[in-house]
Structure 1
Amino acid sequence: MTNGITEVRKADAIFLTGSNTTENHPVIGAQIKQAIKNGTKLIVADPREIELAKYAEVFLKIKPGTSIALSNAMMNVIIGEGLHDEDFIKERTENFDEVANLVKDYTPEKVAEICGVDAEDIRKAARIYAEAERGSIVYCMGITQHHNGTENVMSLSNLALATGNLGKEGTGVNPLRGQNNVQGACDMGALPNVFPGYQPVNKPEIVEKFEKAWGVTLSKEVGLTIPEIVHGAEHGDIKVLYIMGENPMVSDPDTAHVEKGLKNTFLVVQDIFLTETAELADVVLPAASFAEKDGTFINSERRVQRIRKAVDAPGVAKSDWEILMELMNKLGYDKKYNSAEDIFEEIRTVTPQYAGITYGRIEEVGIQWPCPTEDHPGTQFLHQGKCARGAGLFMPVSFSPSGELSDEDYPLVMTTGRVLYQYHTRTMTGKTEGINEKAPESFIEIHPSLAEELGIEDGEMVKVSSRRGEIQTKAKLTDIVSEKVVFMPFHWAEGAANVLTNGSVLDKYSKIPELKVCAVKVNKIS
């Protein structure tokens, strides 16, 4: 997030898109409700009428995969009506004219047809956001998990730059991270193209820095993303695959493809429970949970926070750092640490954003990076005064349809997400009796008129098919989805949504698969 979590309460307008916040991030969802109570105007764009849509000044029930068209249409209105911040654009950005020229073709009327919404609602949304003194954009994986997810984000960035909603409190472009400590994992280089601190692996001076710090020779090649790894494993190119705290047999698209890949490599799984993925492993390494270890977690607003061991880990389970240290020692790298704090001290020496953070400084309250020195207070919001790269870069991005559209054989568009009462692949929540009473099983949301056409009643089992497989799940009739759109949460291994989703269409920049759009058909089971 460019800005802090509590800053949403200080925004005059919030543009919420691709995020079912009250169910996926309920604490932040509550903050948004508090903001609305205090006068903040809310714009919601989503294929489903999520809870926060009821509080919105404008709700845009867009077709899945049409977010860029919507952002460009809002830009069309903002520029056409002179609502853009000319001083901010002139002093702090570049490439504005190219975007302005592109969005001329994205009139509200034209985009209303693409998105399936009303042109006047697009205009109203654009005006609310642009006229706000402090406008905040909040998004999640409903924006990123598309073939053009990176460009979706670029189009949102264009809106913030055009209106001067960057580098000040209560504004920004704010992605909500999908799991606990995803931000921390990325900060520490758990990405194929960077070392800790987002330092590129293919820059000679950066490689030299880490080689000196660690006393080894390092590769200068960018690595593979998860979809590329699974593909490589299926074709015999990946000899060993080490998975920590992830359950791709439920969370990744096209489960049959994932299973082939995992079965065709030497698989090591490090986790706190025997997940569906761990059941396929050649070796399982039992790890300690959050309550059984010391360390730090970094949340969505870049806040580095202490965690402290409360109970002992069961059996032979160990902290992740202990497992990794013992493994690297066995492999010949003789480096010893005595604690998680030892490792954090090393992190500080090689990661500029963390240089000023110590365990003592975060004893009670965490610090938001970047924090370059020990007398620095941390950074509440990014890009104050100027953008981190210098000039904020406008990026002209054109709308293109999703990689798989509905047709005669598969006439419906399916999108996926989460529900409040389960978490991710249920590795933990699936073991909690009360939670499973609230959300016991897989289901598919179907509009009542579609259900009537198909002869399907609420609560009955139906067959859902895509080009990749078929499942059986329970029908849930609701008008929060459109007539030709269905929705499935992906939590359950039985009736798994990701048996159906499309793993072959990838974002050209990030290689993330198009999880949020695929073509399906629903049939009544005779």
Structure 2
Amino acid sequence: MELKYVTTVCPFCATGCSFNLVVRDGRVVGAAPFQRSVVCDGKTCQKGHFAYELVNSEGRLKTPLVKRDGELVEATWEEALGIIADRCRDFSGNDIAVISSANATNEDIFVLGRLAKEVFKTENFTSMAAFGVNASAGSIAGIAKADCIVAVGNIAESHPLIARRIGNAIDKGAKVIAIDSYESPMAVMATEFVKSAPGAEIEAISDAAKFVEGENIVVLYPVGMSSSEAAVAKAASKLAEEKGGVFCALPAQSNGRGAIDLGAAEKSFSEVIDSDSIKAYYVMGEDLGPIDAGFVVVQDSFMTGTAKTADVVLPAAVFAEVDGTFTNAERRIQLLRKAQEPSENVKANWQIVCEVALKLGQDFGYETSQAIFGEICPGITYEEISKDGYQTPAGESVIADESAPALVSATEEYPYVLVTGPTAWHGFGGVGTLSENCQSLLREVPGMFVKINTEDAKELDLLKGASVRVITEIGEIKAPVKITDEVEKGIIFVPTMCIGNECICMLTGKKRARAAKIEREV
């Protein structure tokens, strides 16, 4: 038996924690701490601890698929690439949208950007990191040295190891002001809690200003997936500027920072997805739900909702099967190392993109991910960043102008106000296809849930775990209830998740909060 440890970077959030993958006879079988990590000091959250489980999940795609007679069937790579080449000639320029996962490596995103701009010649290249927030100052280690921290949102569950640094600061006497719409774990952890009315986050940030004082002030904001992320981020950034502190936006995805740096955030994600002019989609590693378009190509590691409706599906390697880099929230470029070989018909995302480009007449000429990295960061090698990574200088914050969220109130028809946020077991949920393939995470949180106040539960005659329908003016989901006093009477909480056939977007669309009603399942 051959046993070895391979150091890599977590594929979930933008904290960028490192850990060791345990490899037995060439196969990933577990995870172990990497004590020398400058980011996480050998610690991980639940997601990082169980991330290894997705590597050899039964849900992995292992061969190309093409649509024949309305069904996806197995095909060879040559057949699949041939169909892409033939069909893509039917579309040109901005007819095509190219969507990158912000959980893909820098090398993957860079090459996909070349495919979009040089081969398809489309401006519609974007990712889930494209919410108009480009702000990354300070460092993760520096958070522990702050004497005043403002946490706008539930960092304790969106970025748990950053919350650990906040806890370190509290232990040293720092003041921590949490701003949230319910008594979240971050609010409980803080020394001051400023409760925001749903939709009034900007006003709450203004209210919190009176508590902010100190010589070393840090303002942190985990970027979610609503239409008002930039507006809230701008208010948080303004607070930091007025108080002489630093502001850092925390992307939800492991390489959200890298996606921004590499141009996959220049075009708004919402603008591209909502466009009626898109006739074809090329999607790398993101689940957008069912897509109805003239032609859809998906390269992914799992059979996502988008893949199920695609015309061609190409099987991609996961984080443990590639060499490459992620850039975390503090701008630290870190090295992922291949721990096991992918299955015979599975390829790295950048390799797939290169083969598609070649089939369409353009040879990118890359033989290794290191060669791609050499174009991203000229003069820097993988060997040079192998120990602690490479932290790039902080640039000027650029945050889009955006309408502020609107205050949400209950109505006679919809007597509750639904608020959203991350959960420790699935993060912001935009990476649901990753956590869905970690069985230990699913055992803890198998799907959507609804937190409801104790008094409201009594009035509705609900017991813990009872199944209910949560309904808003745009849709509904079914989920079990969790009875708690974390949320006040009249407020319900549903996590920002997309898991199984349920998605928060069915309830909120692009809003941070919505009026809602609850109906008990009979």
- TM-score, normalising length from structure 1? 0.68
State the distance in 2 between where 1:269 and 1:24 align: 27
Cross-structure match for 2:425: 421
Give the counterpart of 1:271 among 300, 303, 322: 300
Give the drift of 1:36: 0.9
Give the drift of 1:270: 1.0
Cross-structure match for 2:321: 292
Secondary structure in 2 matching 1:431: coil
Letter in 1 for 2:255: N
State the distance in 1 between where 2:506 and 2:373 align: 39
Letter in 1 for 2:216: R
Cross-structure match for 1:199: none
Q: How does 1:75-224 map to 2 (within 5 A)?
A: 75=209, 126-127=210-211, 129=212, 131-141=213-223, 145-165=225-245, 172-193=246-267
In our comparison, the structure showing a higher alpha carbon Rg is 1
Does 1:522 pair with 2:518? yes
Q: Is the 8 A contact 1:12 1:41 kept in 2?
A: yes
| Residue correspondences, number | 384
Give the counterpart of 2:406 among 396, 401, 404: 401
Give the counterpart of 1:471 among 467, 472, 477: 477
RMSD between aligned residues: 2.5
Greater helix content = 1
Write the deviation string for residues 392-422 of structure 1: whole angstroms up to 9, x where unpaired. 99x99996624x6542222322222332223
Give the drift of 1:519: 2.2
Which 5+ residue runs of structure 2 have no aligned equivalent? 1-135
Cross-structure match for 2:493: 487
Cross-structure match for 1:241: 281
Letter in 1 for 2:217: G
Cross-structure match for 2:352: 323
Secondary structure in 1 matching 2:177: strand
Give the counterpart of 2:272 among 213, 217, 229: 229
Cross-structure match for 2:144: 9
State the distance in 1 between where 2:434 and 2:322 align: 17
State the distance in 2 between where 1:62 and 1:314 align: 49
Q: Is the 8 A contact 1:446 1:486 kept in 2?
A: yes
Cross-structure match for 1:461: 467
Give the counterpart of 1:498 among 492, 505, 511: 505
Secondary structure in 2 matching 1:175: strand
Secondary structure in 2 matching 1:360: helix
Q: Is the 8 A contact 1:8 1:32 kept in 2?
A: yes
Q: Is the 8 A contact 1:69 1:398 kept in 2?
A: no
Q: Is the 8 A contact 2:228 2:403 kept in 1?
A: no
Give the drift of 1:497: 2.5
Secondary structure in 2 matching 1:161: helix
State the distance in 2 between where 1:276 and 1:148 align: 25
State the distance in 1 between where 2:449 and 2:401 align: 39
Letter in 1 for 2:515: A
Secondary structure in 2 matching 1:138: strand
Give the counterpart of 2:199 among 56, 62, 65: 65
Secondary structure in 1 matching 2:236: helix
Letter in 2 for 1:367: Y
1:181 to 1:146, Cα distance in 2 relative to 1, 3 A: closer
State the distance in 2 between where 1:449 and 1:336 align: 64
Q: Is the 8 A contact 1:13 1:132 kept in 2?
A: yes
The percentage of aligned residue pairs carrying the same residue is 34
Secondary structure in 2 matching 1:449: helix
Secondary structure in 2 matching 1:268: strand
Write the deviation string for residues 448-493 of structure 1: whole angstroms up to 9, x where unpaired. 1222222322211111111222221111111111222211122422
Cross-structure match for 1:363: 386
Letter in 1 for 2:443: E
Give the drift of 1:291: 1.0
State the distance in 1 between where 2:198 and 2:294 align: 35
